[in-house]
Chain A
Amino acid sequence: MADSAATRPAATSGRAAPAAPEAVVQLIVFRLGDEDYGIRIEQVKEVTITPEVVRMPKTPPFIKGITNLRGDIIAVVDLEERFQLRPAGRPVPEFSYTLAVEAPDYTLGLIVREVPRPITIPVSAIEPAPEFVQDTGQRDKYLEGIAKLPDGQGVIIVLDMPKLLTPSEIMRLPGQSAATAGRSAAKAEASDAPSKAH
Protein backbone atom coordinates (compact mmCIF):
# COMPACT_ATOMS: atom_id res chain seq x y z
CA MET A 1 0.00 0.00 0.00
CA ALA A 2 2.87 2.30 0.65
CA ASP A 3 3.83 1.98 -2.99
CA SER A 4 0.42 2.90 -4.30
CA ALA A 5 0.57 6.04 -2.20
CA ALA A 6 3.96 6.99 -3.46
CA THR A 7 2.89 6.78 -7.08
CA ARG A 8 -0.17 8.92 -6.58
CA PRO A 9 0.32 12.05 -8.69
CA ALA A 10 -0.59 14.50 -5.94
CA ALA A 11 2.55 13.56 -4.06
CA THR A 12 4.53 15.99 -6.17
CA SER A 13 2.16 18.90 -5.84
CA GLY A 14 4.65 20.91 -3.77
CA ARG A 15 6.16 22.04 -7.08
CA ALA A 16 2.90 23.68 -8.01
CA ALA A 17 3.49 26.54 -5.59
CA PRO A 18 3.88 29.82 -7.50
CA ALA A 19 7.06 31.85 -7.28
CA ALA A 20 5.43 34.89 -5.72
CA PRO A 21 5.08 34.54 -1.95
CA GLU A 22 1.63 33.31 -1.24
CA ALA A 23 0.06 31.81 1.85
CA VAL A 24 0.24 28.05 1.59
CA VAL A 25 -1.37 25.32 3.59
CA GLN A 26 -0.08 21.84 4.25
CA LEU A 27 -2.58 19.05 4.24
CA ILE A 28 -2.41 15.42 5.16
CA VAL A 29 -4.39 13.65 2.48
CA PHE A 30 -6.05 10.27 2.76
CA ARG A 31 -8.76 8.29 1.05
CA LEU A 32 -12.28 7.67 2.29
CA GLY A 33 -14.57 5.74 -0.01
CA ASP A 34 -13.51 6.81 -3.48
CA GLU A 35 -12.56 10.36 -2.63
CA ASP A 36 -9.50 12.16 -1.30
CA TYR A 37 -9.86 13.97 1.99
CA GLY A 38 -7.47 16.38 3.65
CA ILE A 39 -6.79 17.64 7.14
CA ARG A 40 -4.55 20.58 7.96
CA ILE A 41 -1.20 19.22 9.07
CA GLU A 42 -1.15 21.15 12.33
CA GLN A 43 -4.18 19.15 13.44
CA VAL A 44 -2.42 15.85 12.90
CA LYS A 45 -0.27 14.60 15.71
CA GLU A 46 1.09 11.55 13.96
CA VAL A 47 0.42 8.83 11.46
CA THR A 48 0.97 5.26 12.46
CA ILE A 49 0.13 1.71 11.49
CA THR A 50 -3.07 0.95 13.36
CA PRO A 51 -2.19 -0.80 16.60
CA GLU A 52 -4.49 -3.43 18.08
CA VAL A 53 -7.94 -1.91 18.53
CA VAL A 54 -10.18 -3.12 21.31
CA ARG A 55 -13.88 -2.94 20.52
CA MET A 56 -15.79 -1.00 23.09
CA PRO A 57 -19.35 -2.07 23.84
CA LYS A 58 -22.03 0.64 24.05
CA THR A 59 -20.50 2.74 21.35
CA PRO A 60 -21.78 3.38 17.82
CA PRO A 61 -20.42 0.96 15.20
CA PHE A 62 -18.18 3.56 13.57
CA ILE A 63 -16.24 3.85 16.83
CA LYS A 64 -13.89 0.98 16.13
CA GLY A 65 -12.75 0.89 19.72
CA ILE A 66 -9.79 2.05 21.75
CA THR A 67 -6.11 1.66 21.20
CA ASN A 68 -2.88 2.30 23.00
CA LEU A 69 -0.95 4.96 21.15
CA ARG A 70 2.35 5.46 22.96
CA GLY A 71 0.69 5.29 26.32
CA ASP A 72 -2.31 7.41 25.38
CA ILE A 73 -5.51 5.43 25.26
CA ILE A 74 -7.45 6.93 22.38
CA ALA A 75 -10.70 6.22 20.58
CA VAL A 76 -10.42 5.12 16.97
CA VAL A 77 -13.09 6.22 14.50
CA ASP A 78 -13.82 4.92 11.03
CA LEU A 79 -14.87 8.00 9.10
CA GLU A 80 -15.93 5.95 6.08
CA GLU A 81 -18.52 4.36 8.28
CA ARG A 82 -19.30 7.54 10.14
CA PHE A 83 -19.98 9.38 6.88
CA GLN A 84 -21.44 6.31 5.18
CA LEU A 85 -18.91 6.54 2.37
CA ARG A 86 -17.90 2.91 2.13
CA PRO A 87 -19.38 1.30 -0.96
CA ALA A 88 -21.52 -1.66 -0.04
CA GLY A 89 -19.63 -4.91 0.00
CA ARG A 90 -16.17 -3.40 0.35
CA PRO A 91 -14.59 -4.99 3.38
CA VAL A 92 -12.84 -3.12 6.15
CA PRO A 93 -9.14 -3.52 5.44
CA GLU A 94 -7.30 -5.69 7.92
CA PHE A 95 -4.21 -3.57 7.78
CA SER A 96 -4.68 0.16 7.99
CA TYR A 97 -3.19 3.41 9.14
CA THR A 98 -4.32 5.60 11.97
CA LEU A 99 -4.09 9.36 11.94
CA ALA A 100 -3.91 10.74 15.43
CA VAL A 101 -5.66 14.09 15.33
CA GLU A 102 -5.61 16.56 18.15
CA ALA A 103 -8.68 18.10 19.70
CA PRO A 104 -8.21 20.76 22.37
CA ASP A 105 -8.22 18.26 25.25
CA TYR A 106 -7.95 14.84 23.74
CA THR A 107 -6.56 12.87 20.83
CA LEU A 108 -8.64 10.87 18.40
CA GLY A 109 -7.57 8.22 15.96
CA LEU A 110 -8.95 8.22 12.41
CA ILE A 111 -8.60 4.95 10.60
CA VAL A 112 -7.65 5.16 6.91
CA ARG A 113 -7.03 2.36 4.48
CA GLU A 114 -4.01 3.73 2.64
CA VAL A 115 -0.95 5.53 3.81
CA PRO A 116 -1.73 9.25 4.08
CA ARG A 117 0.52 11.71 2.28
CA PRO A 118 1.35 15.33 2.86
CA ILE A 119 0.76 17.99 0.19
CA THR A 120 1.27 21.74 0.10
CA ILE A 121 -1.20 23.96 -1.72
CA PRO A 122 -1.90 27.68 -1.77
CA VAL A 123 -4.66 28.70 0.61
CA SER A 124 -6.45 30.18 -2.35
CA ALA A 125 -6.85 26.74 -3.86
CA ILE A 126 -9.39 25.87 -1.19
CA GLU A 127 -12.84 26.93 -2.26
CA PRO A 128 -15.69 27.01 0.20
CA ALA A 129 -17.93 24.04 -0.37
CA PRO A 130 -20.70 24.91 -2.82
CA GLU A 131 -24.29 25.05 -1.63
CA PHE A 132 -25.49 21.94 -3.37
CA VAL A 133 -22.87 19.82 -1.68
CA GLN A 134 -23.94 21.05 1.73
CA ASP A 135 -27.42 19.72 1.18
CA THR A 136 -26.53 16.25 0.12
CA GLY A 137 -25.37 14.54 3.25
CA GLN A 138 -24.44 14.97 6.82
CA ARG A 139 -20.71 14.70 6.08
CA ASP A 140 -20.86 18.15 4.56
CA LYS A 141 -21.49 19.78 7.87
CA TYR A 142 -17.81 19.31 8.65
CA LEU A 143 -16.31 20.60 5.42
CA GLU A 144 -13.98 23.52 5.29
CA GLY A 145 -13.97 23.53 1.54
CA ILE A 146 -12.74 21.78 -1.57
CA ALA A 147 -9.20 22.11 -2.85
CA LYS A 148 -8.67 21.86 -6.58
CA LEU A 149 -5.31 20.47 -7.50
CA PRO A 150 -3.53 21.97 -10.47
CA ASP A 151 -3.27 20.21 -13.83
CA GLY A 152 -6.47 18.33 -13.35
CA GLN A 153 -5.08 16.15 -10.61
CA GLY A 154 -8.43 16.04 -8.94
CA VAL A 155 -9.94 17.55 -5.83
CA ILE A 156 -9.40 17.15 -2.13
CA ILE A 157 -12.23 17.54 0.32
CA VAL A 158 -10.83 19.52 3.24
CA LEU A 159 -12.36 18.60 6.59
CA ASP A 160 -12.95 21.13 9.32
CA MET A 161 -11.60 19.09 12.19
CA PRO A 162 -12.42 21.42 15.09
CA LYS A 163 -16.07 21.15 14.07
CA LEU A 164 -15.99 17.38 13.84
CA LEU A 165 -13.98 16.85 16.97
CA THR A 166 -16.41 17.97 19.62
CA PRO A 167 -17.23 14.83 21.58
CA SER A 168 -20.95 15.07 20.90
CA GLU A 169 -20.38 15.36 17.13
CA ILE A 170 -17.97 12.45 17.04
CA MET A 171 -20.37 10.21 18.91
CA ARG A 172 -23.37 11.23 16.83
CA LEU A 173 -24.98 8.53 14.80
CA PRO A 174 -25.70 9.44 11.20
CA GLY A 175 -29.06 11.16 10.99
CA GLN A 176 -29.25 11.96 14.67
CA SER A 177 -29.42 15.44 16.13
CA ALA A 178 -26.46 16.60 18.14
CA ALA A 179 -28.50 17.24 21.26
CA THR A 180 -29.38 13.59 21.73
CA ALA A 181 -26.20 12.07 20.35
CA GLY A 182 -24.20 11.88 23.55
CA ARG A 183 -27.16 10.64 25.53
CA SER A 184 -28.42 7.88 23.34
CA ALA A 185 -25.02 6.65 22.33
CA ALA A 186 -23.45 6.71 25.71
CA LYS A 187 -25.98 6.99 28.46
CA ALA A 188 -28.70 4.83 27.02
CA GLU A 189 -28.86 2.75 30.12
CA ALA A 190 -29.49 5.71 32.36
CA SER A 191 -32.54 6.96 30.52
CA ASP A 192 -34.07 3.65 29.61
CA ALA A 193 -37.16 2.31 31.29
CA PRO A 194 -36.99 4.66 34.25
CA SER A 195 -40.08 3.14 35.83
CA LYS A 196 -38.19 -0.04 36.51
CA ALA A 197 -35.04 1.57 37.77
CA HIS A 198 -34.31 1.16 41.46
Chain B
Amino acid sequence: MNKRILIVDDSFYMRTMLKNMLTDAGYDVVGEAANGQQALEMAVATTPDLITLDVILPDNTGLDVLKGIRQQQPDAKVVMCSAVGQETIVNEAIENGALAYIVKPFSEERVLEIVGSALQGDGSPV
Protein backbone atom coordinates (compact mmCIF):
# COMPACT_ATOMS: atom_id res chain seq x y z
CA MET B 1 0.00 0.00 0.00
CA ASN B 2 1.31 3.37 -0.96
CA LYS B 3 1.59 6.04 1.69
CA ARG B 4 0.93 9.55 0.51
CA ILE B 5 3.46 12.25 1.14
CA LEU B 6 3.42 16.04 0.74
CA ILE B 7 6.77 17.71 0.20
CA VAL B 8 7.27 21.29 1.37
CA ASP B 9 10.51 22.92 0.29
CA ASP B 10 11.23 26.19 -1.47
CA SER B 11 13.98 24.67 -3.58
CA PHE B 12 12.81 22.95 -6.73
CA TYR B 13 16.03 20.98 -6.79
CA MET B 14 15.47 19.69 -3.26
CA ARG B 15 11.86 18.84 -3.96
CA THR B 16 12.78 16.93 -7.08
CA MET B 17 15.47 14.94 -5.31
CA LEU B 18 13.24 14.14 -2.39
CA LYS B 19 10.35 13.25 -4.66
CA ASN B 20 12.49 10.89 -6.73
CA MET B 21 13.76 9.14 -3.61
CA LEU B 22 10.28 8.73 -2.19
CA THR B 23 8.61 7.74 -5.45
CA ASP B 24 11.29 5.17 -6.20
CA ALA B 25 10.66 3.70 -2.77
CA GLY B 26 6.97 3.28 -3.60
CA TYR B 27 5.50 6.28 -1.86
CA ASP B 28 3.01 8.54 -3.61
CA VAL B 29 4.09 12.13 -3.59
CA VAL B 30 0.68 13.77 -3.62
CA GLY B 31 1.89 17.33 -3.71
CA GLU B 32 4.76 19.73 -3.63
CA ALA B 33 4.52 23.08 -1.95
CA ALA B 34 7.11 25.84 -2.34
CA ASN B 35 5.95 28.15 0.43
CA GLY B 36 3.98 28.21 3.63
CA GLN B 37 0.73 29.34 2.10
CA GLN B 38 0.78 26.52 -0.45
CA ALA B 39 1.80 24.08 2.22
CA LEU B 40 -1.21 24.87 4.38
CA GLU B 41 -3.59 24.71 1.43
CA MET B 42 -2.19 21.47 0.09
CA ALA B 43 -2.11 19.83 3.50
CA VAL B 44 -5.86 20.34 3.64
CA ALA B 45 -6.48 19.41 0.02
CA THR B 46 -4.38 16.26 -0.12
CA THR B 47 -4.60 14.95 3.47
CA PRO B 48 -1.23 13.25 3.20
CA ASP B 49 -0.03 10.50 5.48
CA LEU B 50 3.17 12.44 6.03
CA ILE B 51 4.54 15.90 5.34
CA THR B 52 8.22 16.70 4.89
CA LEU B 53 8.68 20.31 5.88
CA ASP B 54 11.65 22.56 5.19
CA VAL B 55 12.38 24.81 8.17
CA ILE B 56 13.10 27.94 6.16
CA LEU B 57 10.45 29.07 3.72
CA PRO B 58 9.95 32.35 1.86
CA ASP B 59 6.74 33.58 3.45
CA ASN B 60 6.85 32.19 6.94
CA THR B 61 9.19 29.93 8.76
CA GLY B 62 8.62 26.25 8.67
CA LEU B 63 7.75 26.50 12.34
CA ASP B 64 4.70 28.67 11.65
CA VAL B 65 3.63 26.26 8.95
CA LEU B 66 4.06 23.35 11.33
CA LYS B 67 1.87 25.05 13.91
CA GLY B 68 -0.71 25.87 11.25
CA ILE B 69 -0.83 22.30 9.99
CA ARG B 70 -1.05 20.88 13.50
CA GLN B 71 -3.90 23.25 14.22
CA GLN B 72 -5.84 22.06 11.15
CA GLN B 73 -4.94 18.41 11.64
CA PRO B 74 -3.65 17.57 15.12
CA ASP B 75 -2.72 14.07 13.95
CA ALA B 76 -0.66 15.18 10.98
CA LYS B 77 2.70 13.48 10.78
CA VAL B 78 5.41 16.00 9.98
CA VAL B 79 9.11 15.45 9.46
CA MET B 80 11.32 18.55 9.41
CA CYS B 81 14.05 19.03 6.80
CA SER B 82 16.92 21.40 7.14
CA ALA B 83 20.55 21.90 6.45
CA VAL B 84 22.74 22.10 9.53
CA GLY B 85 22.85 25.42 11.30
CA GLN B 86 19.19 25.72 12.20
CA GLU B 87 19.14 23.38 15.17
CA THR B 88 17.25 25.83 17.40
CA ILE B 89 14.31 25.95 15.04
CA VAL B 90 14.40 22.20 14.61
CA ASN B 91 14.32 21.63 18.35
CA GLU B 92 11.40 23.96 18.68
CA ALA B 93 9.70 22.09 15.84
CA ILE B 94 10.09 18.78 17.64
CA GLU B 95 8.57 20.41 20.72
CA ASN B 96 5.67 21.45 18.51
CA GLY B 97 4.97 17.95 17.37
CA ALA B 98 7.31 17.28 14.45
CA LEU B 99 8.24 13.62 14.48
CA ALA B 100 11.77 13.72 13.19
CA TYR B 101 14.46 15.78 11.57
CA ILE B 102 16.19 15.04 8.29
CA VAL B 103 19.51 16.81 7.82
CA LYS B 104 20.30 18.16 4.39
CA PRO B 105 22.13 17.05 2.38
CA PHE B 106 20.35 13.81 2.95
CA SER B 107 21.24 10.33 1.92
CA GLU B 108 18.56 8.20 0.39
CA GLU B 109 18.86 5.53 3.10
CA ARG B 110 18.50 8.10 5.84
CA VAL B 111 15.43 9.70 4.28
CA LEU B 112 13.69 6.38 3.78
CA GLU B 113 14.59 5.21 7.26
CA ILE B 114 13.21 8.34 8.90
CA VAL B 115 10.11 8.53 6.72
CA GLY B 116 9.47 4.84 7.23
CA SER B 117 9.68 4.95 10.98
CA ALA B 118 7.71 8.20 11.20
CA LEU B 119 4.90 6.58 9.22
CA GLN B 120 4.91 3.48 11.38
CA GLY B 121 5.00 5.42 14.60
CA ASP B 122 1.92 6.21 16.58
CA GLY B 123 2.56 9.91 16.40
CA SER B 124 5.27 10.23 19.00
CA PRO B 125 8.68 11.52 17.93
CA VAL B 126 11.11 8.93 16.62
Q: Do chains A and B touch in the complex (CB under 8 A)?
A: no
- Residue positions of B touching A, CB distance < 8 A: none
- Residue positions of A touching B, CB distance < 8 A: none
